[in-house]
Structure 1
Amino acid sequence: MPDAAISDHVLLVHADGQVRGRAPRASVHTTDTPLHLGFSCYVLHEDGSVLVTRRALTKRTWPGVWTNSFCGHPRQGEALSEAVTRHARHELGMEVQALRPALPDFRYRAVDASGVVENEICPVFVAEAASAPVPRPSEVMELRWVRPEHLIHLAELAPWTLSPWAVRQIPALRAHLAPAAPPADAGALRSAALGSTP
């Protein structure tokens, strides 16, 4: 059985993205988080809706905040595509397919209300759902399938409702999520904010 501190780690990186080492995941996210490698993924339903999730209240960073479908960290020797598939199963109990890079150079730094810092080189992927989500309660407390145009307008008009990385990612993903997103009316925005299903 591998040591948990070794198997559950993040890859520390230089500013150019080159790996410089690894550290136990539990020790990395502090008020002085080193730059490390992560990823974000947005899962699309066959009807065109996007899966958004609300982070569990036990999460160390941004607990209870709505965000993209899921995020995670690759392990040493693991391809990003493998890490995305692994996290989809772990966090959401689901299979994904047609995985493709959408924002390969995305990077961000953000500080949550408790002072904990996220500091990541974080490629963003889009995938298609191959099964229904069955979320792990320690990771996800709620989820919703939302129309992409509603999500785009929500990020623009009410950014405080979403994680800081999602707020930056969503507008840049417009062509991947909703190539022809029409303007949303007030009723549509209210539905998006309340998390109604399509």
Structure 2
Amino acid sequence: MLQPPVILVNEKDEPVGTMEKMEAHQKGLLHRAFSVFVINSKGEMLLQQRALHKYHSGGLWTNTCCSHPLPGEDVLAAAHRRLQEEMGFDCGLEAIFSFTYRAALDNGLTEHEFDHVFLGVYDGVITPDAEEVLSHRFLPLGTIRRLLAEEPDTFTHWFQLAFPKMEAYLENKEKGGE
């Protein structure tokens, strides 16, 4: 069964083509992705544990949801779509930062993504798709920081890279900064 295509991009996030998702990961080609971080009104972050059968990083903890926009799909619209599909809710999202990373995965695949990071606030009901999500939980930022230091292998590679940037953004925002 063919996977949906991803948008291949250059280092400036300019589209250079499309490719079937698995092939792009097998070849380690740079493609557009997004990561959604959701916090509640207490400032706790919503993490998901990826379903065990995911094509990579199964069983690992990560941000609220992440995926790839489809060709022709706006990244923010894709983030809203996947948040609803994976976690069963939607909320306002704000673009915070983007970064590029490359990571060899344990199954011979390579993540090479230009990742757009979004932040939302949500306190309502969460009804995750069991095909996508094994578990979920809200945790204080300090607890996440401690777990990342003590048990890094239980988190996805991209989360380990993005969390410090998101934490710094949230702390700066709390102090009244931008």
Q: Which structure is higher in RCO with an 8 Å CA cutoff and minimum separation 6?
A: 2
The one-letter amino acid of 1:115's match is: G
Tell me the residue number matched to 2:97: 103
Whether contact under 8 Å (2:35, 2:116) holds in the other structure is yes
Q: 1:89 to 1:180 in 2, by over 3 A?
A: closer
Query: Residue 67 of structure 1: which of 62, 76, 92 is its match?
Result: 62
After TM superposition, the runs of 4+ consecutive aligned structure 1 residues lying more than 6 A away are none
2:118 aligns with one of 102, 117, 125: 125
Task: Pick the structure with more strand per residue.
Answer: 2
Looking at structure 2, the residues matched to 80 and 95 of structure 1 have their Cα atoms a distance apart, in angstroms, of: 15
> What is the CA–CA distance in structure 2 between the aligned matches of 1:26 and 1:90, rounded to whole Å?
20
Q: Take 2:126 and 2:171, find their aligned partners in 1: how far apart are those partners? A: 22
1:20 is aligned, of 16, 19, 39, to 16
Distance in 2, Cα, partners of 1:24 & 1:15: 20
CA RMSD of aligned residues (A): 2.1
- Residue in structure 1 matched with residue 167 of structure 2 by the alignment: 174
Q: 2:109 aligns with which of 109, 116, 124?
A: 116
Q: Distance in 1 between matches of 2:108 and 2:43?
A: 36
Q: 1:172 to 1:100 in 2, by over 3 A?
A: same
Q: Aligned to 2:41, which of 46, 66, 75?
A: 46
Count of residue correspondences? 174
Identity of aligned residues (%): 29
| Partners of 1:92 and 1:135 within 8 A in 2 | yes
Task: Go from structure 1 to structure 2 and tell me whether the alpha carbon gap of 1:177 and 1:46 turns closer, same or farther (over 3 Å shift).
Answer: same
Normalised by the size of structure 2, how large is the TM-score?
A: 0.88
The counterpart of 1:150, out of the listed 143, 148, 166, is 143
Corresponding position of 1:194:
none
> Is the 8 Å Cα contact of residues 51 and 132 (structure 2) preserved in structure 1?
yes
Q: Secondary structure at the match of 2:47?
A: strand
Consecutive unaligned residues of structure 1, counting only runs of 5 or more, are: 182-198
Deviation at 1:74, TM superposition (A): 1.0
Gaps (5+ residues) in structure 2?
A: none
Compare CA radii of gyration and give the structure with the larger one: 1
